């Protein structure tokens, strides 16, 4: 034993180490102590809320979209419920190998290869990483029961009841409806989609897009209690019912729509039609061929091959709505527009006589002739429209040029609706092209610029290497040259002539109704503008196209000569570079104060009287069969529907 004096003294270096280690231990203990104090005292409320949140789950209850109805209240588009098998990416196992094990188990249950499951997740979460991934729709209840009983083996896999768009009439009016898909990441940043969440459904095209804020309801929310594994215990803590969207009533007349689509679908080449109320712009029918089945877009993922089929030019791009996006020269259907410009500018009068000797000398050795070498002799405007004399209107176009009235030609065509969107409540409408001296001269100027050695052109591959000439004016007078218009623009122009000067704003929407059927909004836009058309000029033009349709020698008399309702119509056969002739027909009924205008065109359809005119007759027939009182009031009787004939004899000038 050593006494105190004999105890050895610790080396100074060792004592220093002990002191340092003791200090470190004290600091670490203090950190742990204060951390625990922070968590348990200062942050207790925060973590209590997190713990409580782990006990509940908010389940979104999808709101059904409003129905789309025709003008008579018949359902065109509604909803059906479907059980959708979904994967919630945020609730899948974090480790990759655990995910693959779960996908392998799920693959055997739903008969879907593992690589396809992973592909669907990649595709559907490309823009929205946390978006629920729908693997299948319309799954069986047996699968639902199995997954619920084995939820611990399939974390993140769920079955939800969802609403899917239903189309009772198949592809009817598909170009008008458009389709519904999940909101995209880009759309979530737009003001009109404020408040939406990934996975919400919105209209992506057609009327579904234009009136999305009307048709889209407000989702509900159900807060349920869950156990430690995240499975619902069956106890509902709170519930907010979804609010269905309002119903949209369209101005469509279903028999008219059916007749129009049946007519244009009978041809092997694309076509389009528009039927519209002359006085208020309500669209009674509008279609494009080929069309598509909108139910395709109700599927979770559209295969690339299917989408290519819908957009490829080899299949005539069914998603293209040629009624508002087709760009074609109009041929002789443009002549009434030329007539208005010539009359209002004082270039001609209704009694001006022009001798049609069968040809027109354009100069520089260029001679233009009537189709088939026809010659009609001395003509006034009404007779020229009846037989569709090209020579008469070649001279009118030349006189507009020589008298410096090309600006009147441009103004009246533009004001009547050519060369710019009509304002229809459908997305994707194109402007077309109304060629003018200013347009061509500017392109010529740019083509001559040293900075543009290749020139410029509105039409790719067609460089403009000359200024506006007499030939351009002559071509435009008969709807040829660089002119590009669609059926809706021609319908609006003719409607303005028919109603005395109101340029209507075409619209498909008619009313908005709440789910109980009460009207909450009327859709009735005012005319875009009113044009002061001299009544005597209007009368001369209307008489000319009436005789063209229903007097012997008229260009469409073989089709409409025996039509029981007085009407007026104009054929058009347009030369389209790279294609066979474009067939056109625009008509109005009843004559002389029309209520309905129909414009139809068939690509590579040949003479207007042989393709487009029979389409228009089918549409008018359907309209008057549906409205016999109007037929009687017009002085006729409901016509009987007859099959389309493309062998009508050509009388006079088919152009």
What is the mean predicted confidence (pLDDT) over 504-525? Answer: 96
pLDDT at 457: 42
Residue 646 lies in a domain: no
For residues 494 and 577, membership in a common domain is answered with: yes
pLDDT at 79: 95
Residue 94 lies in a domain: yes
Q: List the structure tokens of 568.
A: 């007026």
What is the mean predicted confidence (pLDDT) over 491-520? Answer: 97
What is the mean predicted confidence (pLDDT) over 553-579? Answer: 96
Check whether 124 has a pLDDT greater than 60.
yes
Q: pLDDT grade, residue 455 (50/70/90)? A: very low
Residue 555 lies in a domain: yes
CB 384 within 8 A of CB 464: no
For residues 322 and 203, membership in a common domain is answered with: no
For residues 239 and 375, membership in a common domain is answered with: no
Whichever domain contains 554, its CATH number is 3.40.710.10
pLDDT at 240: 80
Give the closest residue to 169 by CA, choosing from 70, 86, 54.
70
Residue 19 lies in a domain: no
**CA distances to 148, 204, 438, 441, 457 from 444, in Å:** 72, 39, 10, 5, 9
Report the greatest alpha carbon distance in the chain: 149
For residues 513 and 567, membership in a common domain is answered with: yes
For residues 171 and 265, membership in a common domain is answered with: no
Q: What is the pLDDT of residues 315-343, one digit of tens each?
A: 999 999 999 999 999 999 999 999 999 99
Q: Residue 619 gets which letter from DSSP? A: H
- Please say which residue of 218, 235, 250 terminates a domain: 250
For residues 243 and 260, membership in a common domain is answered with: no
d(CA 289, CA 601): 10
What is the mean predicted confidence (pLDDT) over 475-494? Answer: 97
Displacement of CA 647 from its chain's centroid (Å)? 33
What is the mean predicted confidence (pLDDT) over 246-256? Answer: 98
d(CA 347, CA 80): 61
- Please say which residue of 250, 272, 297 terminates a domain: 250
Whichever domain contains 174, its CATH number is 3.90.1310.10
Q: List the structure tokens of 518.
A: 């009460």
Cα-Cα-Cα-Cα dihedral sign, residues 41, 46, 49, 55:
negative
For residues 84 and 218, membership in a common domain is answered with: yes
Strand partners, 247: 513
**CA distances to 63, 221, 238, 558 from 241, in Å:** 9, 7, 10, 61
Q: How far apart are the first and last CA of the chain?
A: 133
Residue 652 lies in a domain: no
Q: Global pTM?
A: 0.84
For residues 520 and 460, membership in a common domain is answered with: yes
Q: pLDDT grade, residue 407 (50/70/90)? A: very high
What angle, rounded to 10 degrees, do the helices at 390-402 and 406-415 form?
120
| Highest mean pLDDT pick, 179-188, 194-203, 263-272 | 263-272
For residues 245 and 269, membership in a common domain is answered with: no
- Please say which residue of 250, 275, 295 terminates a domain: 250
Ramachandran quadrant class, 178 (left: phi over 0; alpha: psi -120 to 50; beta: rest):
left
Q: pLDDT grade, residue 4 (50/70/90)? A: low
Over the chain, what is the mean pLDDT?
Answer: 88
Residue 129 belongs to domain spanning: 57-250
Check whether 643 has a pLDDT greater than 80.
no
Q: pLDDT grade, residue 390 (50/70/90)? A: very high
Residue 400 lies in a domain: yes
For residues 223 and 363, membership in a common domain is answered with: no
Q: Classify 397 as helix, strand or coil.
A: helix
Q: pLDDT grade, residue 250 (50/70/90)? A: very high
Give the closest residue to 607 by CA, choosing from 643, 653, 567.
653
Residue 486 lies in a domain: yes
The secondary structure of 123-191, three-state, reads HHCCCCCCCCEEEEECCCHHHHHHHHHCHHHCCCEEEEEEEEEECCCCCCCHHHHCCEEECCCCHHHCH
d(CA 655, CA 644): 20
Question: Which residue did the predictor score with more confidence, 91 or 464?
Answer: 91
Residue 629 lies in a domain: yes
The number of folded domains in the chain is 2
Give the closest residue to 564 by CA, choosing from 649, 644, 613, 633.
633
Q: What is the pLDDT of residues 596-609, one digit of tens each?
A: 999 999 999 999 99
For residues 289 and 242, membership in a common domain is answered with: no
* Residues 6+ positions from 650 with CB-CB distance below 8 Å: 372, 558, 607, 609, 610
Check whether 292 has a pLDDT greater than 80.
yes
Q: What is the pLDDT of residues 81-102, one digit of tens each?
A: 888 898 888 788 888 888 898 9
For residues 266 and 405, membership in a common domain is answered with: yes
What is the mean predicted confidence (pLDDT) over 529-550? Answer: 98
- Counting other chains too, the contacts that 314-317 makes at CB distance below 8 Å and 24 or more residues apart are 315/290, 316/269, 316/270, 316/290
Question: Which residue did the predictor score with more confidence, 25 or 486?
Answer: 486
């Amino acid at each position: 034993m050593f006494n105190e004096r004999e105890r050895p003294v610790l080396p100074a270096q060792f004592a220093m180490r002990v002191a340092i280690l003791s200090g470190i231990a004290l600091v670490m203990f203090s950190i742990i102590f204060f951390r625990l104090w922070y968590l348990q005292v200062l942050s207790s409320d925060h973590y209590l809320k997190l713990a409580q949140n782990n006990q509940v789950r908010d389940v979104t209850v999808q709101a059904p979209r409003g129905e789309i109805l025709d003008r008579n209240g018949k359902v065109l588009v509604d909803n059906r419920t479907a059980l959708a098998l979904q994967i919630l990416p945020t609730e899948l196992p974090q480790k990759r190998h655990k995910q693959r094990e779960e996908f392998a188990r799920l693959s055997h249950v739903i008969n879907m290869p593992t690589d396809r499951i992973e592909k669907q997740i990649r595709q559907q979460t490309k823009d929205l990483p946390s978006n629920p991934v729908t693997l299948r729709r319309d799954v069986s209840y047996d699968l639902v029961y199995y997954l619920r009983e084995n939820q611990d083996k399939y974390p993140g896999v769920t079955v939800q009841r969802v609403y899917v768009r239903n189309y009772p009439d198949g592809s009817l009016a598909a170009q008008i409806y458009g389709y519904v898909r999940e909101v995209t990441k880009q759309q979530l940043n737009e003001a009109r989609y404020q408040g939406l969440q990934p996975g919400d459904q919105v209209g992506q095209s057609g009327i579904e897009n234009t009136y999305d804020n009307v048709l889209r309801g407000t989702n509900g929310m159900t807060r349920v209690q869950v156990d430690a594994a995240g499975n619902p215990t069956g106890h509902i803590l709170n519930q907010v019912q979804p609010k269905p969207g309002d119903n949209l009533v369209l101005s469509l007349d279903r028999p008219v729509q059916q007749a129009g689509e049946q007519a244009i679908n009978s041809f092997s080449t694309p076509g389009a039609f528009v039927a519209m109320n002359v006085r208020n712009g309500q669209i009674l029918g509008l279609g494009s061929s080929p069309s598509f089945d909108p139910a395709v877009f109700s599927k979770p993922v559209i295969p690339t091959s299917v989408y290519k089929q819908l957009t490829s030019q080899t299949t005539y791009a069914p998603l293209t709505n040629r009624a508002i996006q087709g760009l074609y020269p109009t041929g002789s259907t443009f002549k009434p527009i030329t007539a208005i410009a010539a009359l209002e500018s004082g270039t001609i009068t209704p009694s001006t006589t022009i001798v049609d000797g069968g040809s027109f000398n354009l100069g520089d050795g260029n001679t233009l002739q009537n189709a088939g070498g026809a010659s009609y002799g001395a003509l006034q405007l009404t007779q020229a429209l009846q037989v569709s004399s090209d020579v008469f209107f070649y001279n009118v176009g030349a006189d507009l040029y020589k008298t410096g009235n090309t600006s009147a030609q441009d103004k009246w065509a533009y004001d009547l609706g050519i060369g710019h969107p009509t304002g229809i409540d459908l997305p994707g409408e194109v402007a077309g092209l109304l060629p003018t001296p200013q347009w061509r001269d500017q392109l010529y100027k740019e083509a001559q610029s040293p900075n543009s050695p290749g020139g410029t052109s509105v039409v790719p591959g067609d460089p403009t290497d000359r200024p506006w000439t007499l030939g351009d004016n002559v071509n435009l007078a008969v709807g040829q040259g660089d002119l590009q218009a669609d059926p809706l623009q021609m319908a609006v122009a003719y409607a303005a002539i028919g109603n005395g000067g109101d340029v209507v704003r075409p619209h498909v929407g008619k009313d908005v109704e709440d789910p109980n059927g009460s009207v909450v909004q009327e859709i009735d836009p005012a005319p875009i503008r009113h044009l002061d058309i001299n009544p005597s000029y209007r009368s001369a033009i209307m008489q000319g196209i009436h005789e063209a349709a229903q007097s012997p020698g008229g260009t469409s008399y073989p089709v409409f000569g025996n039509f029981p309702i007085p009407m007026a119509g104009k054929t058009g056969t347009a030369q389209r570079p790279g294609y066979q002739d474009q067939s056109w027909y625009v008509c109005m009924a009843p004559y002389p104060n029309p209520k309905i205008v129909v414009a139809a065109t068939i690509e590579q359809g040949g003479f207007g009287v042989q393709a487009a005119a029979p389409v228009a007759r089918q549409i008018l027939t359907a309209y008057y069969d549906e409205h016999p009182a109007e037929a009687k009031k017009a002085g006729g009787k409901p016509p009987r529907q007859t099959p389309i004939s493309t062998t009508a004899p050509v009388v006079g000038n088919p152009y």
